[in-house]
Structure 1
Amino acid sequence: MRALIYALLINLLLNGIAVAESVRLTNGEWPPYLGEQLPHKGVASRIVAEAFALQGISVEWEFHPWARSLQLAERGQRDGSAVWLHSKERENGFYISDPVVESGYYLFHRKNYNFDWKQIADLHNRRIVGTRGYDYGAAFQQAEASGQLRIHRVTSDEIAFRQLLAGRIDLFPMDKVVGFDILHQHFTAAERAQLSFHPVPLRSDSLHLLLSRNVPGNAERLTRFNQGLAQLRESGKVAQYLLEIQQPLSLAP
């Protein structure tokens, strides 16, 4: 039997048939972009997997808490992780892909709350809630650290939305698409109808695939991934997939 297996492998190699290549990537929960129980593991996971597939590479996903996901990838215990902000610090440990998806954070508020803003100084004396561990952009974070903004941090986005609906706070910064998904999953149409968001984004960022610099071959894999991603984008599928998750979501009853 062993001799037969060896013979088959040699035959495959001699005939130029490549053995399938795969990568192990870590992930976290951030519906509708990422989620272990979501179709395709979330739309961002779908884009990553299909971009790799166009290059003949399959993806094995592992879901962990976010800090653990990043740590496993950075140490080279997994090939990479998806999806993350680009930063100079992360360039030290990772090859960083072209943008996979875009994220826009907006200030949610009650519809009956008279509110306008253009710069961080306009948020002084507002009652603002934030979720622990979230980075809302350099200007916001600096204002919070210096005491110019007083931010009440809570443990989940759902809790923050409930405090907003109850009138305990005035503003809640949240990725718009993720926020809409939370509101549809956990709140009634009547509750959603009480909320709105300001059209000026608090922050707008691209999110990326990270491949560990500690894994041999990852520099070349990143090049191939970017090529696959460009193909997928040019086909119109990236725009299609993003539209599919946003169409059902709104604040209207």
Structure 2
Amino acid sequence: MPVLFKLLTAVFFSCLSLAAHGEKLRIVTEPWAPYVYEDNGTMAGLDYETTVIVFQRLGVEVQWQFLPWKRCLAMLDQGHADGALDIFHSQERDALLLYPSEPLSEVEFVLFYANERPHPAATLDDLRGLTVGVSPGYLYGDAFSEANTFQREPAPSHEANFGKLMLGRVDMVVTDRRVGHHVLKALGLEGKVSQASVVVSRQQQFLAVRRGAGMDLLVQRFAAELKRFKQEPAYATLSAKYGRMHEQTAPIPAPEHAVEQQESSAR
């Protein structure tokens, strides 16, 4: 029997087993606009809509749940969720999770500061003595996580982090570039907050699932279908839809003394 036929058969019966028991794949995630979020009661976002289309093509039904990211990780650890959307790969999670070979997207962690209290950091060394707002459960890369020259202060949401920034309770906020611009527009803070030039880290985002019977074959099939979908006009249209959103939110004027953007992991 050809290997490809065996693979497709295994995936088919894995999905059929879920359907036979009236079960859905339980996927958890945290609102992370514009990748995944809720818009007037409807889930949306580039990675969410992409994942929905891929699973529809695979014949897999999904039950979605929004939770704080730290809770999402706890649900995975306790077996109360089957997978997580927009999770970063880390070796510590390999024993629990399976990752498709094809990522959904890539994030770029950057730092934001209030224009009234400018901190145009060009390197992580420029954070010395500062307090940076972070999100619990996120992985920002070893260089940021292991640095001992600045303080990290968690907040329950990205909106709360930027609220603390405007109140002067933190000096800077770290988050993905596109997420940050989206939140600033939603909060009406455009023109009041600027982005520092330092890039903390870049990381690919995945749809990862807990290890279990048939799951290894499912992630292989998911990766193949995701890669195929990315080559289609439908994905280009979807990407352009959220790309236009980024273009609308991206320009945040920086003070004249801010240095130029330079090139330089994860939830």
Query: Where on the TM-score scale, by shorter chain, does this alignment land: which range?
Result: 0.7 to 0.9
Q: Structure 1 229/123 Cα, relative in aligned 2: closer, same or farther at 3 Å?
A: same
Q: 1:49 aligns with which of 26, 29, 52?
A: 52
Q: 1:25 aligns with which of 24, 27, 30?
A: 27
Which piece of structure 1 moves more, 225-234 or 199-208?
Answer: 199-208
Check conservation: 1:75, 1:212, Cα contact below 8 A. Answer: no
CA deviations on 1:140-193 (whole Å, 9 max, x unpaired) are: 2211xx4x2133444433333234334554322121111122112222xxx411
CA deviations on 1:12-35 (whole Å, 9 max, x unpaired) are: xxxxxx979663322332233223
Letter in 1 for 2:175: M
CA deviations on 1:19-64 (whole Å, 9 max, x unpaired) are: 7966332233223322345644432211111122233334332333
Q: Structure 1 206/178 Cα, relative in aligned 2: closer, same or farther at 3 Å?
A: same
Q: Structure 1 197/87 Cα, relative in aligned 2: closer, same or farther at 3 Å?
A: same
- Is there any run of 5+ residues in structure 2 with no aligned partner, and where? 1-14, 254-267
Letter in 2 for 1:223: Q
Aligned residue-pair number? 228
Who is 1:34 aligned against?
36
Larger Rg: 1
TM-score, with structure 2 as normaliser:
0.72
For residue 132 of structure 1, report the CA deviation from its aligned partner: 4.2
Q: Structure 1 47/245 Cα, relative in aligned 2: closer, same or farther at 3 Å?
A: farther
For residue 225 of structure 1, report the CA deviation from its aligned partner: 0.4
Which piece of structure 1 moves more, 84-93 or 159-168?
Answer: 159-168
Check conservation: 2:119, 2:196, Cα contact below 8 A. Answer: no
Give me the CA root mean square deviation: 2.9
Check conservation: 2:131, 2:152, Cα contact below 8 A. Answer: yes
**Partners of 1:94 and 1:247 in 2: how far apart?**
34
The residue matched to 2:26 in structure 1 has which SS? strand
1:86-101 equivalence runs, <5 A: 86-97=89-100, 98-101=102-105
1:200-239 equivalence runs, <5 A: 200-214=198-212, 216-236=213-233, 237=235, 239=239
Q: Structure 1 46/251 Cα, relative in aligned 2: closer, same or farther at 3 Å?
A: same
The alignment-based identity, stated in percent, is 24
For residue 131 of structure 1, report the CA deviation from its aligned partner: 3.9
TM-score, with structure 1 as normaliser:
0.76
Establish whether residue 248 from structure 1 lines up as the match of residue 253 from structure 2.
no
Q: Structure 1 53/135 Cα, relative in aligned 2: closer, same or farther at 3 Å?
A: same
Who is 2:63 aligned against?
60
For residue 77 of structure 1, report the CA deviation from its aligned partner: 4.4
1:129-144 equivalence runs, <5 A: 129-143=133-147
Q: 1:102 aligns with which of 103, 106, 122?
A: 106
**Partners of 1:127 and 1:74 in 2: how far apart?**
30
Who is 2:120 aligned against?
115
The residue matched to 2:198 in structure 1 has which SS? coil
Letter in 2 for 1:221: L
Q: Structure 1 210/131 Cα, relative in aligned 2: closer, same or farther at 3 Å?
A: closer
Q: Structure 1 88/133 Cα, relative in aligned 2: closer, same or farther at 3 Å?
A: closer
The residue matched to 2:199 in structure 1 has which SS? coil
Who is 2:260 aligned against?
none
**Partners of 1:102 and 1:129 in 2: how far apart?**
21
